Chain A
Amino acid sequence: MSAAEDLGYREKPHELKWVGTNVARTDGVDKVTGRARFGADLIMPGMLFGAVLRSPHAHARINGIDTSKAEAVKGVKAVITRKDFEDQPSEMIQVGELTVNIRDVIRNVLAREKAMYDGHAVAAVAATSASIARKALKLIDVDYEVLPHVIDVVEAMKPDAPLLNEDQFTDGVDPKPDRPSNVAKRLEIKLGDVEKGFAEADVVIEREYKTRPVHQGYIEPHACVASYTEDGQGEVWCSTPGHFLVRAITSRLCGIEVSKLKVTASEIGGGFGGKNIVYLEPLALALSRKCGRPVKIAMHRNEVFRATGPTSGSHMKVKIGARHDGKITAGWAELMFQAGAFPGSPVFPAAMCAYACYDLENVLVIGYDVVANRPKTTAYRAPGAQISAFAVESAMDEMARELGIDPVDLRLMNAAKEGTKAAYGPTFGPVGQVETLQAIKNHPNYNVPLGPNQGRGVASGFWFNIGGETSVTMNVNDDGTIALTVGNPDLSGTRTSISVMAAEELGIEPERIRPAVGDTTSLGFNFISAGSRTTFAVGKATVEVARVVIDELRARAAATWNIPVEAVVWEDGHARPASSNAGDFEPLSLEDIARDAKKTGGPIAGHVETNVSGAGPSFATEAVDIEVDPETGHIKILSFTAAQDAGKAIQPNLVEGQYQGAAVQGIGWALNEEYIYDEQGRMENPGFLDYRMPVASDLPMIDAVIVEVPNPNHPYGVRGIGETSIVPVMAAVANALDDATGVRVQELPLSPPRVLKALNEKNGNRLG
């Protein structure tokens, strides 16, 4: 077996030099000096500005589109509508953790028969300036026939609800229904027998919960530049976590061969799942094809809110049974998730994760994927898991109160651990749930005395980690430095973490490795940066490629010394004879071997194309202290502690940053964020003023605790860590509210009016 084949975790025989330390970000200086180029930062010669016309209606048949007046405007070079794209057949394709139907994708990119939500793209223009493009949009005449619409998930499920798609029959029910419905799918996650479990319970908690859609809220709006030339070649530059995915979808929708489209990923200004899908690129490419000039399209924030993201709103029912001694005997839930205008909400992962923190014998989770006249949902950091966790972890807290057991202890008594059979299928290997609970229990924040109107809440969360298709190339330069090319856009420093692992393997300083994100022509296919996969999966492939390169370096040394390759070892950046029996040779450094590569066989490089497996799931437990203002209902966060299992933190400061960022996104979701619609189904708050995300003055420092239970299937023990820390937050805050006030709020956000109303109701004053 060659070294490259064994990619499991090993207790390191020597001290790790770089892994586990904070190394300078290779993209850092560019990002603090304004040099880093994001989606909208590319300027091409002759470039035009594109703009997109969007439906003002939540649901409307499009009887006709007249673009003649817009086309007549001086400076307008191209106008496109549905006529410029061929329709697509119904076919499921994989997008990040979710699958989507390409027939829906083309409809989402540009409306065909109907506009399905406020903000749905209907036409696009390219012109010599942004102002001309905007002016031309106003001159496009769309003949809309406004239809009844539905926004709320429970309303959408009713038999007499306005139908979004007359051809949609609920999947997953037997026999097939005879009437179309907005319920796209019914699914079940099942383990054991919940009825039996509830019969064994002494206490049963049964509750309903509601959440609203929230947006991923990345600060960089979607943007791209596309260029199409007379020989049928296309180029796209865009802000995306997955340029291979952009290539796949854009070439498909534009009807060109994959080889004729080159996609380059810009730096990406946040995504959190919200950029795991394509909106603008096919429009920009089609516009460029029509007029022969490069076209840039950048969304306005208003468009980002109305037409992209968000995650699902939901209605959930939860029932948990336990014995007096704290043993949970059954967990049941029914999850109704809005998918937006097309099927594909994250209800499936929500159902899988709902009880994954616990070692239970009896679980039943039923999920419904429901379309409604809202933007098509996209992934948002641990998609779905945060939503079902809000429900299950709120109910768990009530159970703890009912049983008179500390909420951490109740979770410890029932925690998932090695050998636990998860309701969604697998039996866990070594996992860190118990350790995250203990970390919280032992944290000073968990033991600070609370004052009046203050409360403490705790909750846990689970998220998977994925591997997926990965291609990595490593070139040894003639000065002994390394060019490392990966195919996964870097949202948070992953490039650097990956080169740290390469440095550790090669035994050289990380500064000598230059990582780059290659375009789609430079590597084999890469699955997108999603599912917390990048540091885990690309890192694992990079370790593999480093070992391939090391084998080659050993071979070159062996050839130089004229001894068998098996007699050469690689240590500390040098080839050495394995023992004195092998001969007495001065070690050869990486530089020495690289310098003489021409004489020993030519350039030295390695490449790996693989489908990475062995991802290790990550658990988190979090505690929050809050203070409630009884006059206003405002919740102030006093402290927040996030403990999550990283397996192994390659760069601790970047790992902490993930926990902190995820926690604060969750705090926004818990306290303020929501989509608000008017009676016509138009979004009322499509801007940062009214869609209130957390700002610095809302928050305390966020304490991140890195728990390390190594993933046995990664050479350094890495688990994907980008997502789990958002999962427990909303429930933790709701639990803290109960602790502080005795009021249980089962609907998000816990905004001042809602909290105040609940407080007033409790106090018997119904005026609030």
Chain B
Amino acid sequence: MARYHVSATVNGDEVDFLCEPEQTLLDVLRDELHLTGTKEGCASGDCGACSVMLDGRLVCSCLVMGAEAGDCSIETIEGMAEGERLHPLQQKFLDYAALQCGYCTPGLLVAAKALLERSPDPTEIETRYWLAGNLCRCTGYDKIIRAVLDTAAEMRGE
């Protein structure tokens, strides 16, 4: 099958990959670039496990074709911590036990970070609706919501 040559930026690094027309960005990240932190839960845009940032926009990478990512800047969970320093959301998820199996966690962290970037002081309801596209079957969301709200407070310096 003919494959396209695509150049993009992933977590600040320039990358090149070959991709089949039917491969999604999620397939490319996982199978071609071996960035397996981004997860597949449904491949249909319904679970958010594959959440990444594409040119500053939160997307389900399973709904973006790999070939569409050409010249785009992509941020994944692998780029969230800075060196040894966890992002405050990552630290709060640990402090609050906001993960059990951890499979939904990368997608939730990426989505929560996108929330805090546009809304530094979200309400509980706003947080719940923003994260409504990210399924978690383990936690019942309670500790996730608390972790996000507390991170927001901490990042505001409260």
Q: Which residues of A contact B (CB under 8 A)?
A: 22, 24-25, 27-38, 40-41, 43, 129-132, 216-221, 267-270, 272, 298, 300-301, 491-493, 651, 653-654, 656-658, 660-665, 687-689, 693-699, 701-702
A653 touches B97 (CB 8 A): yes
Kindly identify which residue among B40, B102, B103, B134 contacts A27, using a CB–CB cutoff of 8 Å.
B102
Chain B residues closer than 8 Å to A267, beta-carbon distance: 101-103
CA distance A32 to B86 in the complex (A): 9
Q: Chain A's nearest CB lies how many Å from the CB of B45?
A: 8
Which residues of A lie under 8 Å from residue B31 when comparing CB positions?
130
A219-B135, A220-B41 are contacts. A31–B86 as well, Cβ < 8 Å? no
Query: Considering the chains assembled together, what is the distance between the CA atoms of A693 and B134 in angstroms?
Result: 11
CB-based contact B101/A270 at 8 Å: yes
Known A22-B97, A32-B109: A660·B139 in contact at CB below 8 Å: yes
A-B contact pairs, 23 of them (CB 8 A): A28-B99, A33-B90, A34-B35, A34-B36, A38-B39, A38-B103, A130-B31, A131-B22, A218-B137, A220-B101, A221-B40, A221-B41, A270-B101, A270-B137, A492-B100, A651-B97, A656-B97, A664-B141, A688-B46, A689-B44, A695-B133, A697-B131, A699-B140
Number of A-B contacts (CB under 8 A): 189
Distance A37 CA – B30 CA, assembled complex (angstroms): 12
- Over the window 60-102 of chain B, the binary record of Cβ atoms lying under 8 Å from chain A Cβ atoms (1 yes, 0 no) is 0000000000000000111011000010001001101101111
With CB as the reference atom, state the residue of chain B lying closest to A135: B1
Pairwise interchain contact A31-B102, C-beta atoms closer than 8 A: yes
Interface SS majority for chain B: loop
B101 to A269, Cβ gap below 8 A? yes
> Contact at B142–A131, with CB atoms within 8 Å?
no
B116 at the interface (CB under 8 A from A): no
> How many whole Å from A504's CB to the nearest CB in chain B?
19
- With A24-B94, A298-B40 known as contacts, the answer to whether A219 contacts B49 (CB < 8 A) is yes
For A40, give its contact among B40, B93, B94, B125 (CB under 8 Å).
Answer: B40
Task: Tell me if B53 is interfacial: C-beta within 8 Å of chain A.
Answer: no
B146 (CB) vs chain A CBs: closest residue: A701
- Please classify how large the interface on chain B is, using the bins under 10, 10 to 19, 20 to 34, 35 or more: 35 or more
Interface pair B131/A269, CB less than 8 Å apart: no
* Nearest B residue (CB) for A640: B140
Please, what's the 1-or-0 string for B5-21, where 1 marks a CB less than 8 Å from any CB in chain A?
A: 00000000000000010
**A218 → chain B, closest Cβ, in Å?**
6
Give the residues in chain B near A220, CB-CB below 8 Å: 39, 41, 101, 103
B135 touches A41 (CB 8 A): no
> In the complex, are the beta carbons of B77 and A657 less than 8 A apart?
no
CA distance A696 to B108 in the complex (A): 11
> Smallest distance from the beta carbon of A379 to chain B beta carbons, Å?
15
| Residue of B1, B47, B78, B140 with most chain A CB atoms under a 10 A cut-off | B140
A491: B residues at CB distance < 8 A: 100-101, 138
Give the CA-CA distance A761 to B129 in the complex, in Å: 34
A493–B135 CB distance below 8 A: no
Closest to B138 in A: A661
Contact of A664 among B129, B133, B140 (CB under 8 A): B140
Q: A657 to B141, Cβ gap below 8 A?
A: no
Q: What CA separation (Å) do A22 and B96 show in the bound complex? A: 9
Cβ-neighbour of B132 out of A30, A33, A696 (below 8 A):
A696
Chain A nearest Cβ from B114, distance in angstroms: 15
Contact B137 A131 (CB under 8 A): no
Whether A660 and B140, one on each chain, are in contact in the complex, defined by CB atoms closer than 8 angstroms, is yes
Complex-state Cα separation, A219 to B136, whole angstroms: 7
Across the two chains, which residue of chain B brings its CB closest to A691? B46
Q: Which residue of A lies closest to B109 (CB)?
A: A32
What separation, in Å, do the CA atoms of A662 and B142 have in the docked complex?
12
Q: A33 CA to B125 CA in the complex, in Å?
A: 26
Bound-state Cα–Cα, A35 to B40, Å: 15
Bound CA span A471–B43, Å? 38
Which of A22, A216, A219, A689 gathers the greatest number of chain B CB atoms within 10 Å? A219
- Please name the residue on chain A nearest to B99 by beta carbon: A31
Residues of A contacting B25 in the complex (Cβ-Cβ under 8 angstroms): none
Cβ–Cβ contact B100 & A661, under 8 A: yes
Contact yes or no, B1 A217, CB < 8 A: no
- Which 8 residue pairs of A and B lie closest in terms of their CB atoms, listed nearest first? A34-B37, A269-B103, A31-B102, A664-B140, A660-B140, A688-B46, A34-B77, A653-B97
Q: What CA separation (Å) do A697 and B36 show in the bound complex?
A: 28
